[in-house]
Amino acid sequence: MGLEILAGRMVAPAFGSSVYTWGSIIGVFLAALSLGYALGGRYAATHASNQALAILSAVAAVSVAAVAVGGDVVITWFDTLNLVEPRYAAILPVTLLFGPMTFLLGVISPFAAEQSAAESHGSASGRVYAVGTIGSIVGAFGATFLLIPAFPVGEVALLLALPLIVVAVLVGDTEPPTVAAVGLAIVAVGFAGSLVVAGPPMTGDTIYETQTAYSDLEVRQDEGVRTMYIGGVPQSATYVDGREGYVFDYAPYMHLPMLLTDDVDRVLFIGGGGFTGPQRYVEEYPNVTVDAVEIDPQVVDTAERYFGLQESDRLQVHVADGREFLQSTDRTYDVIILDAFQADQVPFHLTTREFVELTRSKLDEDGVLMANIISARSGEGSAFYRAMIKTVDTTYPHLYTFPTADTPNLQNIELVATKHADFTQADLQRLNDRRDIGLDLSEEIERYRRAETVPTGDVPILTDDYAPVDSLLDEQVDKPYVITGWNGTTATG
């Protein structure tokens, strides 16, 4: 189980963490284990021995060490090949990397049962599978809560290889084949450790990188711009050379709610990243108090170290899941801004009708909901955007959308919903001329689209019971995500 969780973490940057990815991982592991059980059971009576167990464990440890060193290269290579439909793409690299070792672990179980001192085959099998299940429990909890949050994935793989070497040493004998296999395993894991710990040379613009409990996190700096990448996707950016303004052109859209409601006192941001949005609200609007919710504590720490995040009486940071926070708080807000992502995807439980209804219940009567999503604005790649419109429209009577780039590619699109007041594009331009909110939003308002002009007949309403976000996002796989900003157009993913 520890290896299975590790596999999910390794392939996520290239293939995402969708239900398809996890289904591929679980399926490959189960298939390899089943094959190992079948073949091991067939030959256990004639070939099982302590020497065989030691050699199998040693070879499995070597295969784990190989994954630690070469896993990223293999995954990247498969990601560039585009051999199969995207939803199936993770199957091949997972099979190549984790299939052999999982097969060997499957063979070990019936061999161990055959060598057991139990009085019957039933007792022997029960004992072996009980011990194996306990090991899986320890591996699952250990990898999830201890290893992956604390170490890079390569080092986690090596740590998971160590128990296999210990087993090989404990059950093995002093015969040359056993000694050779165990010695090879020790040398291989040690050599892999030296490569993994040394790591590849850090690129000149990378100033910090780590693995968190939720994703890989990196901070890069280039030409006076510092950017936070989560899951390989830029999430926040700020100038560090004294320049003013926003790095990315979509960022000013978060001020649109200030045109749509009066007397804004309290604002909630769900999703922190570098916290540039919450900090700018505090700077621009002296009467506003901001709550910012971020699920990953290491993202908060990184924002404090590299993006100037400082809590105060007017900016309070909460480490929590955004939906759970909203359910538990007794506060109401004038504005709620949803800006939470796993890589380039909004977590599905923050997209459903039930969640949208929850946001409405936590908004004041003239409150405004704003959601930042990544999608194409029409045609292929727009299904998620259109499903979000259809879902939000079930709860809010007035909904507007603001695509942020003149491109058919994936881009940031802002959804803005109001509980009562209805605004035309001309209304917004008049409000922009009349109200001083710290910046001119004339260009942003030019991208105004009423939600009812967007076709939604072929997409579902997203609910807690049925939210096929992964299917809707299928058509976005391998499409470039375009961000327009300080250096022209940046495309990733």
Residues 31 and 75 in one domain: yes
Residues 154 and 41 in one domain: yes
- Burial class (CB within 10 angstroms; exposed 0-12, middle 13-18, buried 19+) of 203: exposed
The closest alpha carbon to 339, from 269, 386, 404, belongs to 269
Residues 342 and 431 in one domain: yes
Q: What is the DSSP string of 218-229?
A: EEEEETTEEEEE
Would the pLDDT of 196 be above 80? no
Residues 190 and 222 in one domain: no
Q: How far is 247 from 238, CA to CA, in rounded Å?
A: 6
pTM: 0.80
Structural domain includes residue 210 = no
Residues 235 and 317 in one domain: yes
pLDDT band at residue 254, thresholds of 50, 70 and 90? Answer: very high
Structural domain includes residue 227 = yes
pLDDT band at residue 427, thresholds of 50, 70 and 90? Answer: very high
**Per-residue DSSP letter, 295:** S
Structural domain includes residue 208 = no
Query: Mean pLDDT of all residues in the chain?
Result: 87
Long-range pairs for 448-452: beta carbons < 8 A, 24 or more residues apart: 448/400, 448/402, 449/400, 449/401, 449/402, 449/403, 450/399, 450/400, 450/401, 451/389, 451/392, 451/393, 451/399, 451/400, 451/401, 451/415
Question: One-letter amino acid identity for 455?
Answer: P
Query: How is residue 203 written in tokens?
Result: 């690129």
End-to-end CA distance of the chain: 29
Structural domain includes residue 48 = yes
Instruction: Please tell me the predicted confidence (pLDDT) of residue 483.
Output: 77
Instruction: Please tell me the predicted confidence (pLDDT) of residue 202.
Output: 44
**Per-residue DSSP letter, 203:** P
Structural domain includes residue 203 = no
Q: How far is 444 from 18, CA to CA, in rounded Å?
A: 32
Instruction: Please tell me the predicted confidence (pLDDT) of residue 178.
Output: 81
Q: What number is the average pLDDT over the span 104-131? A: 76
Q: What number is the average pLDDT over the span 336-361? A: 91
Give the range of the structural domain holding residue 477, as residue numbers without chain letter: 216-492
Residues 313 and 456 in one domain: yes
Structural domain includes residue 420 = yes
Domain count, the chain: 2
Where is mean pLDDT largest: 119-123, 189-193, 484-488?
189-193
The string of pLDDT tens digits covering residues 128-179 is 778 778 888 888 888 888 887 778 888 888 888 888 898 888 888 878 878 8
Would the pLDDT of 204 be above 50? no
Residues 232 and 172 in one domain: no
Residues of the chain with pLDDT > 70, as a percent, come to 94
Instruction: Choose the final residue of a domain: 169, 198, 227.
Output: 198
Would the pLDDT of 189 be above 80? no
pLDDT band at residue 413, thresholds of 50, 70 and 90? Answer: very high
Let me know how long the chain is: 493
Q: Comparing 92-96, 146-150, 311-315, 455-459, which segment has the lowest mean pLDDT? A: 146-150
Instruction: Please tell me the predicted confidence (pLDDT) of residue 259.
Output: 94
Q: How far is 416 from 71, CA to CA, in rounded Å?
A: 42
Q: How far is 191 from 213, CA to CA, in rounded Å?
A: 27
Instruction: Please tell me the predicted confidence (pLDDT) of residue 83.
Output: 75
Q: What is the 3-state secondary structure (H, E, C) of 436-483?
A: CCCCCCHHHHCCCEEHHHCCCCCCCCCCCCCCCHHHHHHHHCCCCEEE
pLDDT band at residue 199, thresholds of 50, 70 and 90? Answer: low
Q: How far is 29 from 135, CA to CA, in rounded Å?
A: 16
Instruction: Please tell me the predicted confidence (pLDDT) of residue 241.
Output: 92
Residues 134 and 262 in one domain: no
Question: One-letter amino acid identity for 141?
Answer: F
Residues 68 and 190 in one domain: yes
Inter-residue contact 258 to 286 (CB < 8 Å)? no
Residues 192 and 234 in one domain: no
Please enumerate in sequence order all residues whose Cβ is within 8 A of that of 75, keeping only pairs 6 or more positions apart, or say none: 10, 11, 13, 14, 15, 93, 97
Tokens 């709620």 belong to: 336
Q: What is the DSSP string of 297-362?
A: HHHHHHHHHHS-----SSEEEEES-HHHHHHH----EEEEEE---BTTB--GGGSSHHHHHHHHHT
Structural domain includes residue 356 = yes
Residues 74 and 155 in one domain: yes
Q: Comparing 27-36, 147-156, 257-266, 349-358, which segment has the lowest mean pLDDT? A: 147-156
CATH number for the domain that contains residue 349 = 3.40.50.150
Question: CA of 293: how far to CAs of 110, 278, 362, 451, in Å?
Answer: 49, 10, 15, 28
Residues 289 and 142 in one domain: no
Residue 285 three-state SS: coil
Instruction: Please tell me the predicted confidence (pLDDT) of residue 478.
Output: 66
Q: Comparing 38-42, 81-85, 290-294, 302-306, which segment has the lowest mean pLDDT? A: 81-85
Q: What number is the average pLDDT over the span 78-95? A: 84
Instruction: Choose the final residue of a domain: 148, 169, 198.
Output: 198
Q: How far is 58 from 40, CA to CA, in rounded Å?
A: 16
pLDDT band at residue 180, thresholds of 50, 70 and 90? Answer: confident
Query: How is residue 453 written in tokens?
Result: 């002009």
Would the pLDDT of 197 be above 70? no
Instruction: Choose the final residue of a domain: 198, 227, 247.
Output: 198
Q: How far is 89 from 16, CA to CA, in rounded Å?
A: 10
Q: Comparing 144-158, 236-250, 347-361, which segment has the lowest mean pLDDT? A: 144-158
Instruction: Please tell me the predicted confidence (pLDDT) of residue 438.
Output: 85
Inter-residue contact 294 to 271 (CB < 8 Å)? yes
**Per-residue DSSP letter, 255:** G
Q: Comparing 187-196, 234-243, 448-457, which segment has the lowest mean pLDDT? A: 187-196
Q: How far is 378 from 442, CA to CA, in rounded Å?
A: 23
* Helices and strands (DSSP H and E) totals, the chain: 17, 14
